[in-house]
Amino acid sequence: MQLYIKQMPTQGRPLLARDHTAWSRPDAVTLQERTIEHSTVTIAGNKPITIGQGYSTIAWILGDSGSWALPLRHERITSWENPIQKEAWQLQQVCENLPTRPISVWDSEYGCAPFVLKTSNIKADILVRLRSNLCLWGAPPPYSGKGRPRKHGDKFKLNEPSTWSEVTQSIEVTHPKLGRVKVSLWSNLHFRKTATRPMSLIRVECLDELGNLRVSKPLWLAWVGEEIPPLEVVWQLYLRRFTVDHWYRFLKQRLHWTLPKLSTPKQCERWSDLMPLMTWELWLAHDIVADNPLPWQKSQGNLTPGRVAQAMGGVFAVIGTPLEF
């Protein structure tokens, strides 16, 4: 990990994204440490689960666009761990080696009190998606002088506008892809079990030309940490989280991560350790390779990981192999 971090820029705040995925092994009945994992590829009528091994990843997201996600940690979730425990530990390990405080983006699985509590001592700001049926609480009123001081204020239920307090800030912006977007901010809210760690709540709505909702469900985000970035910027940081999903697809389809039928968890881990190394090698080579599109592909200026891998034959032809030295 230290080798990867040395390649990161020293200026600006790094943007980290996390996710976890399954290496499906339903037929490997003798493979130890198999667990029940979520799967997006299912048979109609079946539950979206599979039997295999889960892997957790924290990646550095490059720039404001593109599909480059450079993994800093990519490790197996053991049978005695859960994704929240694993990701909190990985975030702690990464932040201890970073020169500046990062911003990390998380999906709705981590929009809960246990995760907020487990990351309370980690030097990182968190932007996490929230499910629309959650209930938050406002700051308590001033102490009346009688009894125990209150920990919670008024209830704030995300799917019940009648419980919402006054908006702290609201803006409208025009996004090049999403069009007209309204962003609202509420300050100083918390989960019931995290009264000592307040957060800012953000609601993102896509509107049509008449100001009506173009998408039925708005996007709810929570900012937990130090000073929040400008409202027109912070919500767009979450959109970069999906770059990790692109990396997982590249990992499985182009680098053939889940193709080998290995016999032990240790063998699986050793093979998985090669995936970040190959990704970083492709990134370090993206400035020196020449695009080599297939006959049905268009030329690209900013090469994706797949296009760099497609062009690596020219690099190998120049540097040779160890047998030639």
3-state secondary structure 115-157: HHHHCCCCCCEEEEECCCCCEEEECCCCCCCCCCCCCCCCEEE
Q: Give pLDDT, residue 132.
A: 93
State the pTM of this model: 0.89
Per-residue tens of pLDDT for the chain, all 325 residues:
555 555 555 456 899 999 999 999 988 899 998 988 888 766 566 778 889 999 999 999 988 888 899 999 999 999 899 899 999 999 999 999 898 999 999 999 999 999 999 999 999 999 999 999 999 999 988 888 888 888 899 999 999 999 999 999 999 999 888 889 999 999 999 999 999 999 999 999 998 887 777 877 899 999 999 999 999 999 999 999 999 999 999 999 999 999 999 999 999 999 999 999 999 999 999 989 988 888 898 988 889 999 999 988 888 888 777 665 4
Q: Are 307 and 284 in contact (CB under 8 A)?
A: no
Distance of CA 230 to the CA centre of its chain: 20
Distance CA 218, CA 32 (A): 42
Residues linked to residue 106 through DSSP beta bridges, in sequence order? 128
Q: Residues near 142 by Cβ (< 8 Å), separated by ≥ 6?
A: none
Tracing tokens 């299912």 back to the chain, one arrives at 42
Rounded Cα gap, residues 77 and 57, in angstroms:
10
pLDDT of res. 231: 94
| Cβ-Cβ contacts under 8 Å for 216 (sequence gap 6 or more) | none
Angle at 12 between CA 110 and CA 96, to 5 degrees: 55
Between CA 124 and CA 128, with CA 127 as vertex, the angle to 5 degrees is 125
Q: State residue 213's pLDDT score.
A: 77
Instruction: Please state, in angstroms and rounded to a whole number, the distance separating the CA atoms of residues 253 and 258.
Output: 9
Strands 135-138 and 155-157: antiparallel
Strands 125-129 and 219-224: antiparallel
Q: What is the pLDDT of residue 5?
A: 55
What pLDDT score does 320 carry? 77
Domains annotated for the chain, with CATH where assigned, are 2-271 (3.90.350), 272-320 (no CATH)
Going from the C-alpha of 214 to that of each of 33, 173, 204, 209, the distances in angstroms are 45, 15, 12, 9
Please provide residue 170's backbone torsions phi and psi, each rounded to the nearest 5 degrees.
Answer: -145, 135
Q: What is the pLDDT of residue 50?
A: 87
How far apart are alpha carbons 258 and 251 in whole angstroms?
8
**pLDDT value for 216:** 76
Residue position matching structure tokens 């797949």: 306
Tokens describing residue 285: 């080579």
Q: Say what the pLDDT of residue 85 is.
A: 92
Cα–Cα distance for residue pair 56/290, rounded to 1 Å: 33
* H helix intervals, 134-264: 231-239, 243-253
As given in the structure block, the two tokens for residue 166 are 């006054």
Q: Among 61, 72, 110, 92, which Cα is nearest to 242's?
A: 61
Task: Enumerate the β-bridge partners of residue 206.
Answer: 181
Query: How big, in percent rounded to 5, are the helix, strand and coil portions of the chain?
Result: 30, 25, 45
Task: Give the distance between the most distant pair of CA atoms in the chain.
Answer: 83
According to the model, what pLDDT value does residue 301 have?
83
At 6, the amino acid letter reads K
